[in-house]
Amino acid sequence: MLSRRNPQLNRHGELIHLLSIEGLPRAVLTQILDTAGTFLSVNDREVKKVPLLRGKSVFNLFFENSTRTRTTFEIAATRLSADVINLDINKSSTAKGESLLDTIANLSAMHADMFVVRHSESGAPYLIAQHCAPHVHVVNAGDGRHAHPTQGLLDMYTIRHYKRDFTQLTVAIVGDIVHSRVARSDIHALNILGVPEIRAVGPKTLVPGDLAGMGVRVCHDMAEGIRDADVIIMLRLQNERMSGALLPSAGEYFKNYGLTPEKLALAKPDCIVMHPGPINRGVEIESSVADGTHSVILPQVTFGIAVRMAVMSTIAGNQA
């Protein structure tokens, strides 16, 4: 039975689903980050596998396209020795009119142990977690504008790897925040981990008005937003989620909010630059910055596999 207090935790406070970072105890986040650190060395082995999920079946259910995220989940599950089943749901059952819960019921009957779910509708992973068998675990791989918890966790792992201590940092999140589930997950995680200064930077049309209630300082001026920052997280312009004219042009956006070497010079000298990908070069970030010494964008991808291994192995070891 799902806990009414937090549907992600069992009665012992252990993680059984990862649906959102919001509301999770700091100890749970720290446990995942610590566990991810132990998996990084697996990447360097000749045989890149550990037996923690041997005999388990992980179903990747991507109702929304994402080659990068699905690939990293597949690699992570395979390195844990799970049997991985990738289903292109849009071209199968739901395209034929089958309901989401009927799809889940049928897949559960195939002895699934874990569902990794990406869906365009916010809340879909919660619905699945409420209706799947008690032994099945659910990982949210991105739902609507709501949350992308594993991206948030790999961002936290990246920050901790380079900066060690969260409690002394200024973190600026720049760009299309209103459409970004990554930004929401990052903000919740940064708050839980004790970051004292979180800034949301972007035009008024792309920054939600309710962020102050989450302890976030809103800046519509790029220079103000990134000045003396320790970490800058650049976000992709999500044109596919925009309706109406939210921006005058990509060129105008880059002029005001694109990260260039000149703007980066306003941040701390050892500032790191992050991006969840895919990058729009010349729109959100200049290539010289994306490929420069401050960029940790490629290490983020490497860390993402270890973090997803940590999430899956952690929840698989806990009982509902």
The annotation status of 137 as a binding-site residue, yes or no, is no
6 domain-assigned: no
In a domain, 125, yes or no: yes
Q: Are residues 233 and 219 in the same domain?
A: yes
Residues 35 and 140 reside in one and the same domain: yes
280 and 214 assigned to the same domain: yes
Instruction: Examine the pLDDT at 108 and tell me if it is beyond 50.
Output: yes
Q: Measure Cα distances from 307 to 159, 161, 242 in Å.
A: 13, 12, 30
Give the C-alpha separation, 16 to 24, whole Å: 12
| Structure confidence at residue 97 (pLDDT) | 52
Long-range contacts of 219-224 (CB under 8 A, 24+ apart): 219/172, 222/174, 222/256, 222/257, 222/263, 223/263, 223/266
Confirm whether residue 118 is marked as ligand binding. Answer: yes
Q: Report the interhelical angle of 26-39 vs 149-163 (nearest 10°).
A: 70
**What pLDDT was estimated at residue 287?**
97
Does residue 207 belong to any structural domain of this protein?
yes
The count of structural domains within the chain is 2
Provide the pLDDT for residue 290: 97
Per the domain annotation, does 153 fall within a domain?
yes
Q: What is the predicted pLDDT for the residue at 1?
A: 39
Domain presence at residue 2: no
Are both 294 and 194 inside the same structural domain? Answer: yes
- Domain shared by 107 and 182, yes or no: no
Indicate whether 177 and 99 sit together in one domain: no
DSSP letter at 266 equals T
Flag whether 68 is marked binding: yes
Specify whether 170 is located in the same domain as 138. no
**CATH classification at residue 206:** 3.40.50.1370
Which tens digits make up the pLDDT trace of 200-259? 999 999 999 889 889 999 999 999 999 999 999 999 987 644 444 556 678 889 999 999
Residue tagged 């792309």 (tokens):
206
The pLDDT value given to residue 127: 93
Same-domain check for residues 83 and 156: no
Please list the residues that pair with 297 across neighbouring strands: none
68-78 pLDDT, tens per residue? 899 999 999 99
- Known binder of ligand: residue 278? yes
The two three-digit tokens of residue 119, written as one number: 């869906």
16 in a domain, yes or no? Answer: no
> Which pLDDT band, with edges at 50, 70 and 90, does 98 fall under?
low
Tens-place pLDDT, residues 111-157:
899 999 999 899 999 999 999 988 999 999 999 989 999 999 999 99
Q: Which pLDDT score is estimated for 54?
A: 97
Clarify whether residues 154 and 291 are in a common domain: yes
Asked if pLDDT for residue 15 goes beyond 90, the answer is yes
Regarding whether 179 and 293 lie in a shared domain, the answer is: yes
For 62-98, letters b (16+ CB in 10 Å) and e give bbbeeeebbebbbbbbbbbebbbeebebeeebeeeee
Q: What is the pLDDT of residues 272-316, one digit of tens each?
A: 999 998 899 999 999 999 999 999 999 999 999 999 999 999 999
Q: 177 and 289: one domain?
A: yes
**Per-residue pLDDT reduced to its tens digit, 16-25:** 999 999 999 9
| Cβ atoms < 10 Å from Cβ of 121 | 13
Residue 49 annotated as binding site: no
282 shares a domain with 310: no
Residue spans of alpha helices (H) in the chain: 26-39, 67-79, 100-108, 124-131, 149-163, 181-192, 222-226, 250-257, 261-264, 287-290, 297-316
| Domain hosting residue 282, numbered range | 149-301
135 assigned ligand-binding residue? no
Instruction: Give which of 5, 26, 11, 75 is closest to 192, Cα–Cα.
Output: 26
- Contact present, 314 and 15 (Cβ < 8 Å): yes
Q: What is the rounded average pLDDT of the residues 30-39?
A: 97
203 a known binding residue? no
Whether 1 is in a domain gets the answer: no
pLDDT recorded at residue 3 = 39
Q: Residue 17 falls within a domain, yes or no? A: no
Query: What pLDDT score does 212 carry?
Result: 86
Residues 6+ apart with CB under 8 A from 285: 234, 258, 259, 273, 275, 279
**124 within 8 A of 62, measured Cβ to Cβ:** no
φ/ψ bin of 244: left (φ > 0), alpha (ψ from -120 to 50), beta (otherwise): left
Residue 181 marked as a ligand binder: yes
pLDDT for res 242:
43
Q: Is 4 annotated as a binding residue?
A: no
